[in-house]
Amino acid sequence: MITFTKLLLAHLLGDFVFQPLRWVLHKEAHKIGSRYLYLHIAVHLLLTALLLWDLSLWKLIAWVVGSHYLIDLAKVYLQPLFKRKTLPFFMDQLAHILALYAIAYWTELPEHVFKLVDQLDWTLITTIVFVTYPAALIMNKLLDPLAHQIEFDHKSLPNAGKYIGMLERIFVLIFILLGRWEGIGLLITAKSVFRFNDLKESNNRKLTEYILIGTLLSFGIAILAGLTYMYFR
């Protein structure tokens, strides 16, 4: 585990701390001909070697550097094919982490993967998935009759309400798992403070009631999901 942790730390430092934005832009523009691509790889080589501090692991270091180079190269060439630029970024980071995991445990990779999967709390995973998109869809169906009676100004970000709801339900679930019920009250208070000015300015009673119903429904679903998980785990 310590080897993977060190490799991951070297990756985080090399990709986020010691990689200026101009390097990233230069790599995207010049691709395999970018001098910053090779400087970036050199930084990863140095960081990995320093954190491992064991020359007997030179083959492992070589695999790390080689895989990083190939993944970065694939990203700069495939990125123009995607309309959403965030997707190649997350795919790139996932590929790096999976490569580091495979390199760190290459002598016992199948056994380690099976052990890791066997230790997963599938009930918790199911609960987390439920409070995100399924719960959002349930709320949409329940609130749809009310939404038709309200005039929205549509000045908010697209799907902002859905993502705020998913995040707040995840936080509620975390507070329940930690046994910190007061955190839920703090979350409700914080949301009320942020919403207060909007509701005050709109002076729309129907909108206020709609938001209140939606908030209580969202928190209620998350609390029910959390209590169900605590009962069946």
CA angle 125, 128, 134 (to 5 degrees): 115
Please name the amino acid found at residue 52: L
Q: What is the pLDDT of residue 198?
A: 58
User: pTM for the whole thing?
Assistant: 0.80
Over residues 178-220, the pLDDT tens digits come to 999 999 998 888 877 776 665 555 556 677 777 888 889 999 9
136-159 per-position pLDDT tens digit: 999 999 988 887 776 665 566 678
Average pLDDT over residues 29-40: 96
Residue 135: pLDDT over 70 = yes
Over residues 30-54, the mean pLDDT reads: 96
Q: Out of 111-125, 127-141, 194-208, pick the least confident.
A: 194-208
> Percent of the chain beyond pLDDT 70?
91
pLDDT of residue 196: 61
With b meaning 16 or more CB within 10 Å and e meaning fewer, what string describes 145-177? Answer: eeeeeeeeeeeeeeeebeeebbebbebbbebbe
CA dihedral 11, 16, 21, 22 (to 10 degrees): -40
Q: If you average pLDDT over residues 45-58, what whole number do you get?
A: 94
> Quick check: 26 and 34 in contact, CB under 8 A?
yes
pLDDT score at 203: 56
